[in-house]
Chains A and B, each alone.
Chain A
């Protein structure tokens, strides 16, 4: 049989590759599979793996009532939505300016924007905390979201996209009397749709999972997102009932996980697109 693709492994190499691939896959999936096992079985079976172990949802019920997870969910959804909405608007406007205008100070401004890729708000926690205290918004969802509302990554990504859109399109629209913002809204935004989707997925998973800054800037259940809530819950749980902690763990990552399994292809492609531009 003729090999048609040099990347395909054959013969002994194929056996080795298969072994390596699945060993890695099991190592990478094991923690999650294990968490699923523990969460859906009574705690007596946490480390006993038998086929006849009874299934139960009891752990989820107990965890749900042991901490205000419903409130945490609301906070996280609110945070993620607010940050994404602000990012989409601010980054679109800025990216359009960088892609289609020549103006004085453009290069300096772009360099200033790119600096945020390296010095992310994540490492400036001490000063950002001071800022939040001085404007009086400590312990609120707004305080968690503010430092992230304009994203250099988003601006860079959209700028690349807008630059690839031919100028003839907006000239045609201008001839028909469309204003700058109308051209942006009617021509550029629709053409950038796949990039917007990619960016949205990256942003949602980043802010759903973010922990250190929300931990610092919140101190009551009224503003805590899921990640901080989970940490407070599992570190104060004295009895260390693993079944309940893993149930809470799965609960907090559940929506992202389900979304990922449903939209796996788009998700992976989005991450790829976000990475190579």
Chain B
């Protein structure tokens, strides 16, 4: 009969195996295959793929659309991340400020989170539509001339950023609300005894204590900035002239519209590199969580 320790090992592996098989099959294997296929050119009509070395990666440097999508994605990230985190923090403070109707406020802020992005993008599309869209009606009433918000290269990306911030801020607010509840009430009492102002208390006590939450939200916001492309399908299709295209959207176009999956794999490697950077932050965060316990 096997030793009890061996039995426990076998039990643990049996419990783990089903989940592990799925995770490896749909995360690790495809990640490795992406790497392999990024050096291959798909054969036409069922012919075997041929090795092309670094050709796809060299093409990245020539590809204007890739450069645009990459720059756009960095702009998208540097717009959505600080705006959605800042607004999320503000919303949490406002909901927590003892104002009348705070549950209604919380509901309003949070509602975009439960709605499908593809559905709300349809509503936003109408806001941005030239001539009879809501935004233009307001501007028209104020005597401004018409702007085609989504059809203009300089305004398309900001519009896409605005929709993303609107969708995410309320979601991140929830994490701040949860963290605010964890802050000991005695800190606030002590601050009041000392005669500290509310602003001072926020600046010197609350915001520093929220740092772990901010870090957690930051990593999530970063991952989202490279993952959220649903609204592009409705609002701009990456246009005009790729002015609002993002990396994952371009990967979709290259792989599933032009069926150049080899180049799509090379593009995916670039995306994975960015997510890898975010993941270094994430792992650092988990380490710290473990130390706190």
Contacts and interface: CB of A to CB of B under 8 A. Distances in A.
A171 interface: no
B229 A8 contact: no
Secondary structure type dominating chain B contacts: helix
B252 A7 contact: no
Contacts of A90: 18-19, 22
Interface in A98-133: 98, 101-104, 106, 109, 112-131
B26 A131 contact: yes
B149 interface: no
A6 interface: yes
B142 interface: no
Given A6-B198, A180-B11, A234-B122, A260 B178 contact: no
Interface stretch (A54-62, A64-72, A267-275): A267-275
A234 B91 CA distance: 33
Given A127-B30, A246-B123, A6 B116 contact: no
Nearest to A18: B99
A1 interface: no
Contacts of B188: 5-7
Contacts of A256: 114-116
A47 B132 contact: yes
B16 A126 contact: no
Nearest to A156: B286
A17 B178 contact: no
Contacts of A209: 115-118
B259 to A, nearest CB: 10
A173 interface: no
Interface in B22-43: 22-31, 33-34, 37
Given A91-B19, A246-B122, A125 B108 contact: no
A108 B178 CA distance: 31
A268 B110 contact: yes
A101 B12 contact: yes
A150 interface: yes
Contact of B94 (A17, A31, A89, A93): A17
B57 interface: no
Contacts, number: 293
Interface residues of A, number: 98
A126 B97 contact: no
A168 B226 CA distance: 45
B282 A118 contact: yes
A110 B18 CA distance: 14
Interface string B103-136: 1111111111111111110111011000010100
Contacts of A34: 123, 126-127, 134
Interface string A225-241: 01100110011000000
Given A126-B265, A216-B256, A253 B119 contact: yes
B179 to A, nearest CB: 7
Interface in B171-230: 171, 174-175, 177-180, 182, 188-189, 191-192, 196, 198, 201, 216, 223, 226-227, 229-230
Contacts of A253: 114-116, 119-120
Contacts of B201: 6
Contact of A257 (B115, B175, B179, B265): B115
A73 interface: no
A150 B268 contact: no
Given A216-B252, A253-B115, A109 B174 contact: no
Contact of A126 (B98, B122, B124, B261): B261
B72 interface: no
A226 B118 CA distance: 10
Interface string A19-34: 0111011111101101
B94 A272 contact: no
A45 to B, nearest CB: 13
Given A6-B188, A119-B275, A234-B122, A275 B174 contact: yes
Given A123-B275, A150-B23, A272-B174, 5 more contacts: A7-B93, A211-B230, A249-B120, A252-B116, A264-B107
Interface of A: 3, 5-9, 13-14, 17-18, 20-22, 24-29, 31-32, 34-35, 38, 47, 89-91, 93-94, 96-98, 101-104, 106, 109, 112-131, 146-150, 152, 155, 180, 205, 208-209, 211-212, 215-216, 226-227, 230-231, 234-235, 242, 245-246, 249-250, 252-253, 256-257, 260, 264, 267-268, 271-273, 275-276
30 contacts: A7-B180, A7-B198, A22-B105, A25-B104, A28-B108, A28-B111, A31-B166, A32-B115, A93-B15, A97-B12, A97-B16, A101-B8, A101-B9, A101-B12, A103-B12, A112-B23, A119-B279, A120-B223, A121-B26, A123-B227, A124-B268, A129-B255, A227-B118, A227-B230, A230-B119, A231-B233, A250-B119, A272-B174, A273-B178, A276-B175
